[in-house]
Structure 1
């Protein structure tokens, strides 16, 4: 495996005036959080060695480095997906770059479909665990010993402490949040009703096309992870209507206020 994450880290470090502690990976329609960062340094992805490009609507395609709620942060305003044709080595390169820059905690967000029928579009779900239905793993290949062990533990891929903190902050802000298991699939086609029934029987509460590879790499690198899914639609077959990316974007916009308040409250206390 190449060491492009180190090249990317050096390029970014040479431009930074602060050392980020917290990494933010912002999913479809949720990049607005990066606009809240103070004294921002913007670095377009196309300038960073080895970085792919975001090709999906709602993914701006730049790093934003600065201060949020008094903490030094580095945010991905748009992420990469396996379905865009990028190998998982590139999809997860930013996570390894963040680790090299000194980031110890990553907050991963995504737009997802609700499998749990008690959920509603616009809900925020704190991710308790994940199921990898992609048939892929970003750790396949030579192990990067400088980052982690060959067989990393995934029993706490999502930090218990950070989840408890998230529920506490949500309670203080009177934001109703759900909790559940995120099922990661490849995409880009939405799931069939039969697939959703299968995922529900296998323990999934929400489904999406991202997050799983980044979290595996973060766990391998010894980083603490908190995941938040914005339930932007009910998954296939639950409601009698077709699914569309425009619905995802519209619902993410409606959930924006709660999302911003929850994440900012979390960053303040991490």
Structure 2
């Protein structure tokens, strides 16, 4: 009952915030506080409705989601797996500590020329840009989650004769899942952020929401730019809520 009430309040407050933002935006657009090239919400949502009615946006959404989801799944696989190993096995952790400290501050878009030389203007290059950007938040959150586990849990498992493998999946993984999900949320947001940057590569191919934005900007169509940005934001919000729902189902003991 209490959880249902909290969810209802969240939905009400979220809708109120969104309506307040859109109303303020529409009001400023109507009173000429914004430059004429910045479209109003009515125009932007009209463009979105038109794109969905004609179906022209669906191929772009499909291509962008393909790149983002593949990049995110690779991050979940390698970032989580290596983070658990580095947190549990000290030699592996000591190996990765300087590597992460050195490579994490590098702007990953700076690696673009290297990827272009190796893989050309392909989806592999775009997915690698997404992967390298989102990998480190996932890895670091998982590493911190494993290292932050109460040592009493590990000592108790050792005293009961648990093997190291059994400790990994019966103690380490469940206890570090809250931090792992935090890392996944940050990584998921970064996949959508970098999706646009990656689609700036070879935009002449004409596929992806990033291409829509660049193409519309070239023709001065700010309404289409804002419409595509809104679609990206809506997709990011949808997948973030799906991840939160998965977290609540997996970490059911936290709600209790």
TM category (shorter chain) comes to: under 0.3
* Larger strand fraction of residues: 1
Structure ranking higher in helix proportion: 2
| TM-score, structure 1 as length reference | 0.22
